[in-house]
Amino acid sequence: MPDNVDSRRSELAEKLSTAIRAHDPLPKFNRQLTLDDAYALQHSVTKCRAGNRVGGIKAGVTAAPMQDLLGLNHALIASLYADGEVEAGDTIKYLNGRKVECEFAAIVDDIGLPKAIAPAIEVVYVNFQRSSDLCAESLVASNLGADLYMLGDFAPWDDDFAELTVTLTCDGTVVNEAPMTDAFGGPRAGVRWMWREARKREFRLGHRTLMLLGACGKPVDAAPGKYRADFGVLGAVEFIVQTPVR
């Protein structure tokens, strides 16, 4: 029986990772997964998609309304693909369904203490074939829509940064504005929760682990335009979403 389970997991992981890489619709989720099953599958998906080239860990579903919708009382975590990191200032391809999230990044040491902090942008993409597939387990299994991410300059960790607000503009128009406390109530609490959860869920943690601490404010459609995310004294992250060729 374990061999059959492993075989089915491997087959589904291959299908999921292929769809994720190509930005195709995800395979239909035809069986009920537990959250433990979903995390085991997620690790297999990540290995198929990225091998050993994992860039760090990300938090998702940090907002209470989304947790309520999914029947959760906590956030979820996933892996970042190392080849998903793009340089701040770069132009990224327009893809219908992509979302932009303003986040804060932390560098954490081998005992879970935060050492540095930076502004960050995450671009997420989830493409379920059926609305009924949207649940906590399928989100976890599909690696929480991990796609692209970009980082600003890191500064030494300081809890005073928790007082900051991020403002995102597209072609000069404000499309999102939120306090840093929007995710987990603040970055230190986010690091603490993510470290515990990552150990529980058997994520690989090293002496220098990158963590994206969840969205501040709302996810924004990644429409074509020039974006600037202003994180106050921490700096800004700029990027362009290209206009699709018709």
How confident is the model over 116-163, as pLDDT tens digits? 999 999 999 999 998 889 999 999 999 999 999 999 999 999 999 989
CA–CA separation, 30 vs 38, rounded Å?
13
What average pLDDT score do residues 29-51 get? 90
Query: What is the chain's mean pLDDT, rounded?
Result: 93
Mean pLDDT of 7-20: 88
Tell me what pLDDT residue 5 has: 59
* Whether pLDDT at 19 is above 50: yes
Give the DSSP letter of residue 215. Answer: -
Q: How much is the average pLDDT of 35-54?
A: 94
Interatomic CA distance for residues 140 and 81, integer angstroms: 15
Structural domains of the chain, with CATH: 2-241 (3.90.850.10)
- Encoded amino acid at 205, one letter: L
**Percent of residues, the chain, with pLDDT higher than 70:** 96
Distance CA 114, CA 157 (A): 7
pLDDT digits (tens, 9 = 90+) for 177-229: 999 999 999 999 999 999 999 999 999 998 999 999 999 999 999 999 999 99
3-state secondary structure of 211: strand
Give backbone dihedrals phi and psi of 145, rounded to 5 degrees, phi first. Answer: 70, 25
> pLDDT value at position 93?
95
| 99 vs 190: CA distance, rounded Å | 21
DSSP type of residue 25 = P
Q: How confident is residue 243, by pLDDT bands cut at 50, 70 and 90?
A: confident
Rounded distance between C-alpha atoms, residue 118 and residue 180, angstroms? 12
pLDDT at 32: 79
